[in-house]
């Protein structure tokens, strides 16, 4: 277990963007990508949004949400939200890094914060926000059993492909659909840690993953705000 964690840590730290994108003039949000070692393999914890929520009810996501005034940074936001949503205490998370952000449907700058949690963690879902919690082997996001890509277009006309995974969970005896920005972050995390070519197409130059991922993000940002990269 220690060896698996240490290998992942070293790889993740190479990709830590820190606060490099924090200056962008967008409303901020963060998600926690909770990694655990279970049965000798890395797993990732997901939540299912409550059906009572107005925005994206019933969708799979990571613990997270919008930044609040008292949050010191993106890490603070992710840890606070994880505590509110699934009862994960901040001191029980070993934060490793912040990865290249994404932009959600509401044009928030969403920062993925990666942290290790214990495999013994028992989630206490807040029913107002979360209806279910489950884990998926991280390797599923490079070698899925059920995958398709969906075309999407942003409000500014940016065209791209969206990952969509269906994961059959034996514990819950049901399938979960993981797609959109959540799937995007899960795929990138798996690419960073495993250095494997996935069984499906991705938008990255896998030989230059750091620069490729940052360029992709800046292209998306520039397309949204019609700003030339040279002016950023």
Q: Which residues form the domain of 5?
A: 1-231
**What's 146's domain CATH number?**
3.90.79.10
Task: Give the pLDDT of the chain (232 residues) as one tens digit per residue.
Answer: 899 999 999 999 999 999 999 999 999 999 999 999 999 999 999 999 997 877 878 899 999 999 999 999 999 999 999 999 999 999 999 999 999 999 998 889 999 999 999 999 999 999 999 999 999 999 999 999 999 999 887 666 667 789 999 999 988 899 999 999 999 999 999 999 999 999 999 999 999 999 999 999 998 898 887 643 444 4
Residue 59 near residue 94 (C-beta atoms within 8 A):
no
165-185 exposure pattern, b = at least 16 Cβ within 10 A, e = fewer: bebeeeeeeeebbbbbbbbbb
Number of domains present in the structure of the chain? 1
pLDDT on residue 230: 41
pLDDT on residue 232: 47
pLDDT on residue 167: 98
């Amino acid at each position: 277990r220690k060896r698996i964690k240490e290998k992942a840590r070293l790889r993740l730290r190479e990709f830590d963007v820190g606060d490099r994108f924090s200056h962008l003039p967008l409303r901020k949000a963060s998600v926690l990508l909770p990694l655990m070692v279970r049965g000798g393999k890395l797993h990732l914890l997901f939540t299912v949004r409550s059906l009572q929520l107005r925005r994206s009810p019933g969708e799979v996501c990571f613990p997270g949400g919008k930044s609040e005034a008292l949050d010191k940074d993106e890490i603070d936001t992710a840890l606070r939200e994880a505590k509110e949503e699934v009862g994960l205490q901040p001191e029980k998370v070993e934060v490793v890094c912040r990865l290249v952000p994404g932009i959600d449907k509401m044009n928030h700058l969403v920062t993925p914060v990666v942290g290790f949690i214990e495999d013994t963690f028992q989630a206490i879902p807040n029913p107002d926000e979360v209806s279910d919690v489950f884990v998926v082997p991280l390797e599923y996001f490079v070698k899925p059993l059920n995958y398709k890509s969906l075309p999407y277009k942003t409000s500014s006309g940016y065209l791209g492909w969206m990952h969509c995974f269906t994961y059959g969970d034996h514990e819950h005896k049901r399938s979960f659909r993981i797609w959109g920005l959540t799937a995007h972050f899960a795929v990138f995390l798996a690419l960073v840690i495993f250095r494997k070519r996935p069984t499906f197409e991705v938008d990255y130059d896998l030989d230059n993953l750091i620069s490729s991922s940052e360029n992709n993000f800046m292209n998306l940002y520039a397309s949204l705000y019609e700003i030339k990269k040279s002016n950023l």
